[in-house]
Amino acid sequence: MQVSNLEDQIIKILETKYGHSIDKDDPLMLTITAQVLAAEQITESYKINLESQFIRFKEDLQAILENEKIDS
């Protein structure tokens, strides 16, 4: 019972997110939708990771440039 309820909740979330109905008896539609959702999550995680790496790079570069000024 809980699994079915969870499945229904997930399908409602996906239908709201993508703006179309999802037939839970259509394995191809569920697979494609799940793959798109997973790809979006991976892309978002990758973007966040890149942003944090870029911030650290900027901070490191700023520190190097400040040290170069002091040494000059």
Contact criterion met (CB below 8 Å) for 26 and 49: no
> What local confidence, expressed as pLDDT, does residue 45 receive?
95
- pTM summary value: 0.57
Q: What is the pLDDT of residues 31-54, one digit of tens each?
A: 888 888 889 999 999 999 999 999
User: What does the alpha-carbon distance between residue 53 and residue 37 come to, in Å, rounded to a whole number?
Assistant: 24
Residue 55: pLDDT over 90:
yes
Residues 6+ positions from 14 with CB-CB distance below 8 Å = 22, 33, 37
Query: How crowded is residue 14: how many other Cβ atoms within 10 Å of its Cβ?
Result: 20
Q: What is the pLDDT of residues 8-35, one digit of tens each?
A: 887 888 888 888 888 878 888 878 888 8
